[in-house]
A = this chain, B = another copy of it.
Amino acid sequence: MPVLSYDTLRSHLSRVLLALGCPADEADVIADALASANVAGHDSHGLIRIEQYARMVQSGEIEPGTPTTIVRETPATALLDGGWNFGQVVAKRAIEMGIEKARACGVSTISVKNSNHLGRLGEYTVMAARAGMMCVATVNNHGRGNLVAPFGGSDGRLATNPISFACPGPERPVLVDITTSVVAEGKVRVLRNAGKSAPEGWLIDNQGHPSTDPADLYTDPRGAILPFGGAVAHKGFALSIMVDIMSGALSGAGCSYSGTCRLGNAMYFNLTDIEKFVPRDEFLEWVTTLKNHVQASPPAPGFSEILMPGEPEFRTEERRRRDGIEVDEGTWGQFLECARSLGVELSG
């Protein structure tokens, strides 16, 4: 199994993105984001996406190099049009603008339409946290991700509609980065391909009955993934609706529906300049106190410690930056093939 350093992975990605027609600075931004997803352990949002992105560029769905334009703006807010460029480029532009506006006004909200897939949402909230901000972000899927059932429903009507939050923390940022569904579709696919069962509470079949058979998600008509919450899944459903509205209705890009639309991520970013409220040290002291307080809970049976939100990702990142990133043979082969087809020769 190939093991790549962060820098090698990033450089490979950048070369392929250049070959796809991305301007050099944008290729670097996208390569950064994808390599960062891999290094944080979110392999589903890293290198593996290149082959899909290449197809989308070739079909005209992604329009590399198109500038992000400002549709409406006030000192504290903006509605941006991503011009169907790579979502990573658009999201970075949105966060940079959000930081600038929050520094000036104390708080800012940036809403984005006409953007492709932005990858891992936590990438952008952490970017804001490292600039001293508290940040809440959501994305929806415009109605092209009808995989998650509404609470009480029997078919997929919503996307996995994630929400992310980050803020400065004692050693590293606190990072919340969760889907409002029990799981992402990719995890169900992995189980199906491996011939394994899904845990109880993940899925329903296309009649709305609880199921542990991953194949039930891929029947015609399809089954669905449940909103998260277990016995109180109306809460996960409620959050999914919130995410869909904050992302899709505020930007005008559109919420989940059953018509046909262009696949993409409508985005919502809200940033708070902490120092407009309390001194940074006071904020950090409370976050540290909270962390120490919850981590002092004696671990329940089956657990060895309590992890703060984001700690699993940051630990994986430390390990992979030190030891390298393992890439499975299938993904690696697909990536090399994609690179070759674009005239890029890579060596591990």
* A interface residues with partner B (beta carbon < 8 Å): 72, 74-77, 79, 105-109, 111, 134, 136, 143, 149-155, 157-158, 165, 167, 174, 176, 178, 182-183, 199-202, 204, 207-209, 228-239, 241-242, 244-246, 248-252, 254-258, 270, 272, 274, 276-278, 282-283, 286-287, 289-290, 293-301, 303, 305-309
On whether the beta carbons of B298 and A154 are closer than 8 Å, the reply is: yes
On whether the beta carbons of A245 and B174 are closer than 8 Å, the reply is: yes
A158 proximity list for chain B (CB < 8 A) = 294
A305 proximity list for chain B (CB < 8 A) = 152
On whether the beta carbons of B278 and A251 are closer than 8 Å, the reply is: yes
Measured CB to CB, the nearest residue on chain B to A287 is B249
Tell me, rounded to whole Å, the shortest Cβ–Cβ distance linking A141 to chain B. 12
Task: Identify which of A174, A232, A249, A299 gathers the most chain B CB atoms within 10 Å of its CB.
Answer: A249
On whether the beta carbons of A208 and B299 are closer than 8 Å, the reply is: yes
On whether the beta carbons of A306 and B153 are closer than 8 Å, the reply is: yes
For A105, give its contact among B76, B155, B290, B299 (CB under 8 Å). B76
A235 proximity list for chain B (CB < 8 A) = 178, 228, 236
| A245 to B283 CA separation, bound complex (whole angstroms) | 8
Tell me, rounded to whole Å, the shortest Cβ–Cβ distance linking A326 to chain B. 24
A277 proximity list for chain B (CB < 8 A) = 72, 77, 79, 111, 250-252
Measured CB to CB, the nearest residue on chain B to A292 is B257
For A106, give its contact among B77, B251, B289 (CB under 8 Å). B77
Contacts A105-B75, A230-B231, A231-B201 known; A176 to B293 CB distance under 8 Å? no
A200 proximity list for chain B (CB < 8 A) = 231
| A277 to B105 CA separation, bound complex (whole angstroms) | 17
On whether the beta carbons of B182 and A283 are closer than 8 Å, the reply is: no
Contacts A244-B290, A248-B286, A290-B249 known; A72 to B300 CB distance under 8 Å? no
Measured CB to CB, the nearest residue on chain B to A255 is B290
| A5 to B183 CA separation, bound complex (whole angstroms) | 45
Task: Identify which of A245, A270, A289 gathers the most chain B CB atoms within 10 Å of its CB.
Answer: A245
Tell me, rounded to whole Å, the shortest Cβ–Cβ distance linking A131 to chain B. 16
Measured CB to CB, the nearest residue on chain B to A243 is B165
On whether the beta carbons of B270 and A150 are closer than 8 Å, the reply is: no
| A150 to B248 CA separation, bound complex (whole angstroms) | 32
| A236 to B163 CA separation, bound complex (whole angstroms) | 12
On whether the beta carbons of A232 and B237 are closer than 8 Å, the reply is: no
For A241, give its contact among B174, B249, B303 (CB under 8 Å). B174
On whether the beta carbons of A182 and B232 are closer than 8 Å, the reply is: yes
On whether the beta carbons of B157 and A293 are closer than 8 Å, the reply is: yes
For A149, give its contact among B167, B207, B297 (CB under 8 Å). B297
On whether the beta carbons of B297 and A154 are closer than 8 Å, the reply is: yes
On whether the beta carbons of B250 and A272 are closer than 8 Å, the reply is: yes
A237 proximity list for chain B (CB < 8 A) = 309
On whether the beta carbons of B157 and A106 are closer than 8 Å, the reply is: no
| A246 to B274 CA separation, bound complex (whole angstroms) | 10
Q: 20 A-B Cβ contacts within 8 A?
A: A72-B276, A76-B106, A77-B272, A106-B109, A136-B136, A143-B293, A151-B306, A151-B307, A152-B299, A152-B300, A152-B307, A153-B303, A178-B235, A201-B231, A208-B298, A229-B230, A237-B309, A249-B287, A250-B283, A256-B290
Task: Identify which of A106, A151, A202 gathers the most chain B CB atoms within 10 Å of its CB.
Answer: A106
The 5 closest A-B pairs by CB, nearest first: A230-B230, A153-B297, A208-B300, A77-B106, A152-B303
